[in-house]
């Protein structure tokens, strides 16, 4: 294995992206200090605990060992760092534009602690095109002692998915580095050398996939790198909305979306991934990034019609489960509805923009009693969804007991492995609305409704 050139790295912001990046870079052999203004979070990290659930991340953190430190103090993290990553949140505002106040605050604090040696400031937060230049100006305005060209602002967007963050950060499809200064881009390429050359020892719990060789390196201008991030997420969201639109039509014409996707997905120009129809996309990224791109378009007088349509289809898709329920049960008032899965996707306890939220809220509005279960996210839901009136069930079976219907909102393995025949026998009325393709055959006397596919079991 090639010896790596260790960098001193500071990571500002320890959310999903910051944590993942800090731990991955330390695992690769760099000296990393993760900074967060939230002292409670830093305390937790210092004790070796993670504030989020992400498979494999705790193990990777353990292996990174002493190379990883945590602080709340910019004066401790910044002066020594060769590369400083901005990984703070950019939450959406009411009009869809991302709020850049945390980026601005990070840039100012970084500026005040730069030490005049050549340092690279790397923007990893998802920020609108043009933000890199704005960050550079903020730093210039706030640096105590400004040394022209002593630091370079580079954009290095992150493409990891929650639930598979460890795998995605060790085995990315591509590494995108955008910047106007050759030196800044070069520095980042050196930092990522172990990933680019695959010269690190793969951890046991995240082995290198067989067909994987190495990521593509895409070096671009600052603006293009910023745009790549938005365009990639927007395109993925578009793909899912397209699949949902075709699925909804399949239901009218007796076609099966799974067969259709299998057929179109073999065309290498289309590809089979991100075409799973169901509850629509959720999570903290697609909704925020499509809205942000649409508002950037609006700033320039361009209305982004394709993206607007993708968002419209997704909003409609959130009602599909309720419509199917009403078709069978008519009035939902007084009905007991089990909801399996609250997280926006399996492998995470993240509830942000989860389709399950909209379903539960609508069911409660319509007077139904909701009994919800999730293998991981229930604790979090108790805090974050405190405004929703639903009951919790300790197990999937308990949720189904006495229910008039069950909605499957997240494709957890646990639900795929469930003994559906036994579980459905506990129901008062055996109706399954499976939005995530987890039920493969209908248990006796049970109707299984699916999205874009013929229903299974006897009609009621
Ligand atoms: C997404 C992108 O996939 C990442 O590449 C990107 O880095 C990340 O956003 C980000 O910007 O930070 P993530 O939101 O973690 O990642 O989750 P995805 O796996 O992309 O799923 C998003 C949503 O789409 C989920 O609600 C999922 O259930 C839904 N989905 C996904 C479908 O409905 N159908 C599919 O075929 C695929």
Query: What pLDDT does 460 receive?
Result: 46
Query: β-strands 68-71, 447-450: how paired?
Result: unpaired
Q: In terms of C-beta density within 10 A (0-12 exposed, 13-18 middle, 19 or more buried), how is residue 221 classed?
A: middle
Residue with tokens 């409670």: 40
Helices (H), 254-334: 257-265, 286-299, 305-317, 320-329
Euclidean distance between CA atoms 203 and 139, whole angstroms: 38
Pocket-forming residues, ligand 1, beta carbon under 6 Å? 126, 158-162, 233, 236, 240, 274-276, 278, 281-283, 285-286, 344-345
Closest ligand 1 atom to Cα of 157: 7
Euclidean distance between CA atoms 106 and 17, whole angstroms: 15
In three-state secondary structure terms, 177 is strand
Closest ligand 1 atom to Cα of 237: 24
Closest ligand 1 atom to Cα of 16: 12
Examine the residue annotation and report whether 424 is marked as an active-site residue of this protein. Answer: no
The CATH class, in words, for 8-220 is: alpha beta
- Choosing among 3.30.70.260, 3.40.190.10, 3.30.70.100, 3.40.50.720, the CATH entry for 318-450 is 3.40.50.720
Query: β-strands 431-434, 447-450: how paired?
Result: parallel
Average pLDDT on 267-272 reads 96
Per the prediction, the chain carries an average pLDDT of 94
Q: In terms of C-beta density within 10 A (0-12 exposed, 13-18 middle, 19 or more buried), how is residue 88 classed?
A: buried
For the segment 348-359, what is each residue's pLDDT rounded down to a tens digit? 899 999 999 999
Give the residue, by CA position, lying nearest to ligand 1 atom 10.
285
Tell whether residue 324 is among the known ligand binding residues: no
Query: What pLDDT does 116 receive?
Result: 78
- Residue range(s) occupied by CATH 3.40.50.720 in the chain: 8-220, 318-450
Q: How far is the CA of 316 from the centre of ligand 1 (A)?
A: 18
Average pLDDT on 279-294 reads 94
Does residue 1 have a pLDDT over 60? no
Q: How far is the CA of 355 from the centre of ligand 1 (A)?
A: 13
Euclidean distance between CA atoms 336 and 71, whole angstroms: 48
Query: What pLDDT does 320 receive?
Result: 96
Tell whether residue 126 is among the known ligand binding residues: yes
For the segment 116-128, what is each residue's pLDDT rounded down to a tens digit? 788 899 999 989 8
Query: What pLDDT does 75 receive?
Result: 96
- Residue range(s) occupied by CATH 1.10.1040.10 in the chain: 230-316
Distances, alpha carbon 48 to alpha carbons 57, 146, 165, in Å: 11, 37, 18
Euclidean distance between CA atoms 211 and 98, whole angstroms: 37
Q: How far is the CA of 236 from the centre of ligand 1 (A)?
A: 8
Pocket test for ligand 1, best of 89, 162, 226, 279 (most atoms within 8 A of CB): 162
Pocket test for ligand 1, best of 18, 88, 231, 236 (most atoms within 8 A of CB): 236
Closest ligand 1 atom to Cα of 278: 33
Q: In terms of C-beta density within 10 A (0-12 exposed, 13-18 middle, 19 or more buried), how is residue 144 classed?
A: exposed
Residue with tokens 């229903």: 455
Q: How far is the CA of 230 from the centre of ligand 1 (A)?
A: 13
Give the residue, by CA position, lying nearest to ligand 1 atom 1.
161
- Paired tokens of 389: 């009136």
Cross-strand pairs, 98: 92
Does residue 375 have a pLDDT over 80? yes
Tell whether residue 282 is among the known ligand binding residues: yes
Query: What pLDDT does 382 receive?
Result: 97
Predicted complex ipTM exceeds 0.95:
yes
Q: How far is the CA of 437 from the centre of ligand 1 (A)?
A: 17
Give the residue, by CA position, lying nearest to ligand 1 atom 5.
159
Fold annotation for 230-316:
1.10.1040
Q: How far is the CA of 199 from the centre of ligand 1 (A)?
A: 29
If residue 250 lies in a helix (H) or strand (E), which one and from where to where? helix 222-253
Does residue 206 have a pLDDT over 90? yes
**DSSP code, position 28:** H
Average pLDDT on 317-331 reads 96
Q: What is the pTM of this model?
A: 0.93
For the segment 22-75, what is each residue's pLDDT rounded down to a tens digit? 999 999 999 999 999 999 999 999 999 999 889 999 999 999 999 999 999 999
Closest ligand 1 atom to Cα of 280: 33
Euclidean distance between CA atoms 435 and 279, whole angstroms: 6
**DSSP code, position 372:** E
For the segment 126-175, what is each residue's pLDDT rounded down to a tens digit? 898 989 999 999 998 888 765 655 788 999 999 999 889 999 999 999 99
Query: What pLDDT does 326 receive?
Result: 97
Tell whether residue 288 is among the known ligand binding residues: yes
- Calculate what percentage of the chain has a pLDDT beyond 90: 88
For the segment 212-257, what is each residue's pLDDT rounded down to a tens digit? 999 999 999 999 999 999 999 999 999 999 999 999 999 999 999 9
DSSP output for 348-371: ----TT-HHHHHHHHHHHTT-EEE
For the segment 395-446, what is each residue's pLDDT rounded down to a tens digit? 999 999 999 999 999 999 999 999 999 999 999 999 999 999 999 999 999 9
- The catalytic position among 250, 285, 359, 424 is 285
């Amino acid at each position: 294995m090639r010896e790596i050139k260790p960098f001193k790295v500071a990571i500002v912001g320890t959310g999903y992206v910051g944590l993942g990046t800090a731990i991955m870079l330390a695992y690769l052999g760099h000296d990393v200090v993760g900074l967060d203004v939230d002292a409670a979070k830093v305390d937790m990290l210092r004790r070796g605990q993670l504030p989020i659930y992400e498979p494999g991340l705790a193990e990777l953190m353990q292996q990174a060992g002493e190379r990883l430190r945590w602080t709340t103090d910019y004066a401790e993290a910044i002066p020594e760092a060769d590369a400083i990553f901005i990984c703070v949140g950019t939450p959406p505002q009411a009009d869809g534009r991302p709020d850049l106040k945390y980026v601005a605050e990070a840039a100012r604090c970084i500026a005040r602690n730069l030490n005049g040696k050549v340092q690279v400031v790397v923007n990893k937060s998802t920020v609108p095109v043009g933000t890199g230049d704005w960050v550079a100006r903020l730093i210039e305005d706030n640096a105590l002692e400004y040394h022209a060209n002593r630091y370079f602002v580079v954009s290095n967007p992150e493409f990891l998915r929650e639930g598979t963050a460890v795998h995605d950060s060790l085995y990315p499809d591509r590494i995108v580095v955008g910047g106007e200064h050759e030196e800044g881009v070069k520095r980042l390429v050196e930092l990522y050398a172990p990933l680019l050359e695959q010269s690190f020892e793969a951890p046991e719990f995240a082995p290198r996939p067989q067909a994987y060789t190495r990521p593509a390196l895409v070096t671009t201008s600052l603006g293009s790198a910023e745009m790549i991030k938005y365009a990639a997420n927007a395109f993925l969201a578009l793909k899912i909305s397209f699949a949902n639109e075709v699925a909804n039509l399949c239901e009218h014409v007796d076609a099966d979306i799974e067969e259709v996707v299998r057929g179109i997905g073999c065309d290498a120009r289309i590809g089979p991934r991100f075409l799973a129809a169901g509850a629509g996309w959720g999570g903290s990224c697609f909704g925020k990034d499509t809205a942000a791109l649409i508002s950037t378009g609006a700033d320039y007088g361009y209305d982004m019609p394709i993206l607007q349509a993708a968002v419209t289809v997704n909003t409609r898709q959130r009602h599909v489960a309720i419509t199917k329920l009403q078709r069978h049960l008519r009035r939902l008032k007084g009905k007991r509805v089990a909801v399996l899965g609250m997280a926006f996707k399996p492998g995470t306890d993240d509830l942000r923009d989860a389709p399950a939220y909209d379903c539960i809220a609508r069911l409660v509005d319509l007077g139904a009693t909701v009994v919800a279960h999730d293998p991981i996210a229930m604790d979090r839901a108790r805090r974050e969804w405190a405004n929703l009136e639903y009951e919790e069930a300790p197990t999937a079976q308990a949720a189904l007991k006495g229910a008039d219907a069950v909605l499957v909102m997240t494709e957890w393995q646990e639900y795929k492995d469930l003994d559906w025949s036994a579980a459905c026998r506990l129901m008062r009325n055996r109706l399954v609305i499976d939005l995530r393709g987890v039920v493969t055959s209908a248990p006796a006397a049970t109707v299984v409704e699916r999205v874009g596919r013929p229903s299974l079991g006897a009609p009621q």
